[in-house]
């Protein structure tokens, strides 16, 4: 469960998040909608522990994230949170296989090749496992990024505009894959997006406006 209580964050005196509240049940899939500059990325950074709120508390799976040191937040993120980005953020110097196993290596988790091969086959990347990201299409790169975010079975998956850089068809395939894998793994998923059509895959949706969240009907 992810719980945010009275989160406030200010930049140069302007409140980007202002007493924000949020509760995400385990295994739920949610969408966060909002205009550019509304504070969506700041909220994601706070949820992932990259930034601290000015005030308020964040609880994740019984851990008060906002009370942890930077090192402890990093350790928590490493084990319990996966992230997908708009620009994929794959390592150009590592091939598909190496990119995929990186979270496992970071968490000292076993690498089981046949399980990973099955995952790669499912997303159509098995034959590309020795190739480097810059030789893949945008859709292939984002599918790999989704796999990488989930490979160590995190409790929470945060996706920041995961389809913002893809064409309509590729975006649809990627979203289907993202939600399917998250639901199968029982991972709590929060997708930050401009695209209202994402709501068709989610259990709930919110908009961020004037520093607060408001539930919207999908």
Partner 1 sequence: MLATLTWRFFRRHPGQLLALLLCLSTGVGAFVAIALVNQSALSSFERAADAINGAATHRLEAQGRVLNYSDFVALKRSAGAQRAAPVLESVARVGDKRAFKVLSVDAFSERALGRSELIASVTSLTSLLDEGALQLLVSRDLALTLPKGRFALSLDGLLIDAIVAGTLPSPDLSGLALADLGGTFAALKSERLTRIDLALTQAQLQNIRLPSGLSVVAASRQDLVLRELTRALRTNLLALSLLALLVSVFLISLSFRYAWLLRARDFARLRSLGLSAKALRGYLLGEALLLGLLGGACGIGFGVLLGQLLSAPLGDAFADLYGTQTRIQFAPSAVALALSLLLAMLAAVVGAIGPLISAERSSLGDQLKRSAQESKAQIAWGMIAALVLFLSAAWLLGQTSLELAFAGLLAAALGLALLVPLALRLMLNLLGRWTFVQRTLLGGLSIGLAQRSLSRLGAALAALTVALATPVGLDLMVSSFRGALIAWLDASVIGDQFVLSDQGIRPQQVRQVQALDGVLRVHTTRHRLLDRTTRPYELMAIDASAERMKTFQLLSGRVDFERFARGDSVLISEAFAAKRRVNVGDSWRLGASTLRIDAVFRDYRSEHGVVAIASARYRELYNDPLISSLNLITRPNAGLSVANYVATQPSLRLISRAELKATSLKIFDRTFALTDQLKYLTAALAAFGVFAALLALALEREGLHARLHALGFQRGQIHALNWLGALGLALLSGVLAAPLGIILAKLLTEVINQRAFGWSYALRLSAMPMINAMFLALAATALALLAAQWLSPNRGASLRAVRE
Distances (CA, A) of 51 to 3, 24, 25, 106, 108: 16, 19, 22, 21, 25
Nearer to partner 1, 92 or 217 (CB): 92
Nearer to partner 1, 23 or 106 (CB): 106
Query: Closest separation between CB of residue 199 and partner 1, Å?
Result: 25
Residues contributing to the site for partner 1 (CB under 8 A): 41, 45, 48, 50, 70-71, 74-75, 77-79, 81, 83, 85, 87, 89-94, 98, 102-103, 105-107, 138, 165
Tell me the angle at which helices 138-150 and 96-106 cross, rounded to the nearest 10 degrees: 20
Query: Closest separation between CB of residue 35 and partner 1, Å?
Result: 17
Return the H-helix or E-strand segment holding 182.
helix 168-185
List the alpha helices (DSSP H) in 36-137: 40-48, 70-80, 96-106, 113-122
Query: Closest separation between CB of residue 218 and partner 1, Å?
Result: 28
Place of tokens 């000015």: 54
Query: Closest separation between CB of residue 65 and partner 1, Å?
Result: 13
Nearer to partner 1, 81 or 123 (CB): 81
Nearer to partner 1, 98 or 197 (CB): 98
Instruction: Spell out the residues 6+ positions from residue 139 whose beta carbon is closer than 8 angstroms to its own.
Output: 166, 167, 170, 173, 174
Nearer to partner 1, 86 or 202 (CB): 86
- Do residues 206 and 213 touch, judged by C-beta distance below 8 A? yes
Query: Closest separation between CB of residue 88 and partner 1, Å?
Result: 10
């Amino acid at each position: 469960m992810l719980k945010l209580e009275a989160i406030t964050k200010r930049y140069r005196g302007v409140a980007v998040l202002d007493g924000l509240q949020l509760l995400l049940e385990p295994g739920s899939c949610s969408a966060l909608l909002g205009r550019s500059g509304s504070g969506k990325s700041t909220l994601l950074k706070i949820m992932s522990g990259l930034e601290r709120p000015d005030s308020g508390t964040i609880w994740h799976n019984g851990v008060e994230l906002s009370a942890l040191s930077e090192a402890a937040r990093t350790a928590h993120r490493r084990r319990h949170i996966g992230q997908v980005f708009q620009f994929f953020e794959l390592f150009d110097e590592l091939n598909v296989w190496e990119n995929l196993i990186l979270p496992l290596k970071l968490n000292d988790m076993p690498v089981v090749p046949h399980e990973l091969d099955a995952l790669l086959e499912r997303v159509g990347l098995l034959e590309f496992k020795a190739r480097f990201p810059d030789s893949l299409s945008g859709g292939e790169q984002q599918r790999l990024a989704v796999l990488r975010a989930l490979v160590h079975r995190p409790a929470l998956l945060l996706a920041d505009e995961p389809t913002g850089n893809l064409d309509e068809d590729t975006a649809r395939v990627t979203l289907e894959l993202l939600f399917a894998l998250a639901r199968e793994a029982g991972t709590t998923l929060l997708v930050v997006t401009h695209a209202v059509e994402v709501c068709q895959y989610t259990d709930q949706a919110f908009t961020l406006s004037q520093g607060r969240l408001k539930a919207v009907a999908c």
